[in-house]
Amino acid sequence: MLKLVLIVVCLNACIGWNYFKIKNNKYQLPKYENYYAEDLQYLLFSDEVVWFEALFICQAFNGHLAELNTVTKLAKNSDRLEDAVLDPHQIWIGGFMYSNYTWKWIKSSLPINKELLKFANWFRKPVNIYKQCLAIDRRYNNIVLINLRCESRKPFLCEMTIDDRVQLPGMETHHSILIENKTFVLYYEKMTWIRAVGYCRLMGLQLAILSNENEINRIAHAMLQGRPSLKEIWISGYFDRTWKWLPNLKPFQWNVHDRLNYQKFNFSTFNECITLNRHYNYDEHAFIPTKCITPKAFLCETVLETTPVLNGTTMTINKFNFSLIMKDSSWIQAQRHCRMNDGNLAELIQDGDVNDLSTFLENQPEEVERIWLGGIYKNYKWIWAKSKKIIETDRINFYDANYGSESLCLNLDIAEMKMYGLNCAFKQFFVCIA
């Protein structure tokens, strides 16, 4: 059982600072906008993060991941999100599936009611134990609840009372360290771990992952040289059944009994968050489990591109090889990629092809929601770009919407097993056929 209740309780004490204004930050600041509905304030962040980091960032703002717990509340937020400038297509909210397959709101611990579950894309489908985190999406003109893998990176929606919103203080005292292709920023003002998570993201950064001995030694040296010098700092490790890094939810790559002597942990007491200690034992650098509510200096890092490009994820349908390319691309970029590799964007001639490909993609380790196919809307009809065959829009797997001048490229919705048009400039994964 995940220790989410403990995390929420222990972080309630981590709030209460004044408003501030960020000036002259050289990093890419996250975009967010706020709106009001039913006497509550909502912050919609465009930053794409894993569900657990979204949970912590909302708490850093004295709020929580949105609890859209009535049909009315869901509908009103749907209307506001439809008018949002950022317009993300999938958004994390505060629902989680526990080990008994029960969906609950993480803030109130109340079950998600049956009326709301009628809006769920998994309703009446077998339980997918790997998709434990809740998001909202738009299907055609309707709002739906969707279950996703928690490690998927999505924008997110925070909820708070109108009077409760806080922002984190601006800080001038920091030190930048360039290590290979990453820039680390060491902040000297002390914060709780949860506030450090929120502050790093507000700066366009993330709480740091230290993935090798070189990074640890260089950061420890910077801690020593700084004025004041620092003994320990927050990094992004935390405990959730195992020790893992928050930005990617990946477990630590080393064992606690490894020969690397700075990787020693004290498991005699329950602690949840990790500090880097510069001189745990003389000159040894150690990762030390520490209570998350303890104020510490902290280390942020630049956010690197994490979208993998996989050319080897293939399956065969009707003697044709289909390759999934997990690189966000426009339709034109996707078609160009396929042709450079002696193929074309996939053409699904039979309804059975749609079902087979959707089932295959649903079972991938990486979350796949939609992909480009090789269809285009031309001369008032849908055709396959390579074969020039007309796509019958009355087939069971086709959603024949009222297509405007923008939705001219064919997309496959994996969860719905439906094909329909999207704006060709929209970027998503795609499948090539050879």
CATH 3.10.100.10 correct for 4-13+31-161: yes
C-alpha angle 254/367/421, rounded to 5°? 155
Spatial distance between the Cα atoms of 59 and 30, rounded to a whole number of angstroms: 17
- State both tokens at 127: 């339980």
Q: What is the CATH number of domain 174-302?
A: 3.10.100.10
Contact 412, 358 (CB under 8 A): yes
Helix axis angle, 51-60 to 193-202, nearest 10°: 100
Spatial distance between the Cα atoms of 434 and 323, rounded to a whole number of angstroms: 8
- State both tokens at 209: 């992952």
Q: Where are the domains of the chain?
A: 4-13+31-161, 174-302, 313-433
This prediction has a pTM of 0.65
Please give the single-letter amino acid code of residue 298: F
189: Cα separation from own chain's centroid? 28
Beta carbons within 8 Å of 188's beta carbon, 6+ residues apart: 171, 173, 174, 175, 226, 228, 230, 297
- State both tokens at 373: 């196919």
Q: How many residues does the chain have?
A: 434
Spatial distance between the Cα atoms of 191 and 365, rounded to a whole number of angstroms: 35
What does each C-alpha distance from 73 to 39, 54, 117, 165, 199 come to in angstroms?
A: 11, 20, 14, 20, 29
As assigned by CATH, the class of the 313-433 domain is alpha beta
Per-residue pLDDT 10s for the chain (434 aa) are 444 433 333 333 332 222 233 333 455 555 778 888 888 999 999 888 999 999 999 988 889 999 999 998 998 888 888 777 776 778 999 999 987 788 999 999 999 998 888 888 776 565 677 788 999 987 666 788 988 888 888 899 999 988 766 565 566 667 889 998 889 999 998 999 999 999 998 888 999 999 888 888 899 989 988 778 898 999 999 988 778 899 988 877 654 334 333 344 444 444 589 999 887 555 677 888 888 999 999 999 988 654 433 344 777 777 778 888 988 899 999 999 999 888 899 998 876 788 778 877 876 766 788 899 999 998 888 999 999 999 887 776 777 655 556 789 999 988 777 888 888 999 999 999 88
